[in-house]
Structure 1
């Protein structure tokens, strides 16, 4: 059972192929569809020591039910908007009483 409130459904895309030039390309092979998820996009002001000019960086976070087969570098498609994200990190908090949701740190590609 998911603890966060689902705002959309996700499709997990996985796999690569090689094009005619020998370059690796992502495939749109769906390994799971209709996964309930809580998806939020946020922005943050960022500066670095090398470049003190503030920039706005957008990122997204999703939460899915524990046990969902999502891996680093998979892609997920928001079934509501069609937006595709790369999964940068998959994490979960330790909780001996309940299986916590899985957190996906996402980067939007489309």
Structure 2
């Protein structure tokens, strides 16, 4: 991993159907103890329609290239207990080294 690991994460994947027929996330871990870097940031955002500035918070994580994480997985920061939904997985191309995976996250708890 090229980024400096700040925590370890657990990856949750999959859904089930509850007693009322609604889809619910499962809390079955797929992977545990994955070294990751998670940073939460904020950005001031305005639009042409609404020039009032708003503060938008978002989180980004980096994990080792080849880690089995996909869109819509959930990850739990084992240090803080925060849970995030993975909204996008991307990586930079490098002819020299396998670049880390970048995870765009949305915090759920």
Instruction: Tell me which interval the TM-score lies in, with the shorter structure as reference length.
Output: over 0.9
CA distance in 1, matches of 2:36, 2:47: 33
Q: What TM-score comes out, normalization by structure 1 length? A: 0.96
Which runs of structure 1 show a deviation greater than 4 angstroms over 4 or more consecutive aligned residues? Answer: none
Distance in 1 between residues matched to 2:88 and 2:32, nearest whole Å: 20
User: CA, structure 1 residues 50+22, in 2 after alignment: closer, same or farther (shift >3 Å)?
Assistant: farther
Q: CA RMSD in A?
A: 0.8
Q: Is 1:98 paired with 2:97?
A: yes
Q: So what's the TM-score if we normalise by structure 2?
A: 0.97
Q: Aligned residue for 1:8? A: 7
Q: Which residue pairs with 1:108 in the alignment?
A: 107
Deviations 1:17-74 (A, max 9, x none): 1111211111111000000001100000111233221111110000000000000000
Supply the distance in 2 between the matched residues of 1:89 and 1:49 (Cα, whole angstroms). 27
Instruction: Pick which of 57-66 and 43-52 moved more.
Output: 43-52
Q: Which residue of 2 aligns with 1:70?
A: 69
Distance 2:98 2:38 in 1: 19
Question: What does 1:1-110 align with in structure 2 at a 5 Å threshold?
Answer: 2-110=1-109
Q: Secondary structure at the match of 1:72?
A: coil
User: Which sections of structure 1, spanning at least 5 residues, go unmatched?
Assistant: none
Q: Which runs of 5+ in 2 are unaligned?
A: none
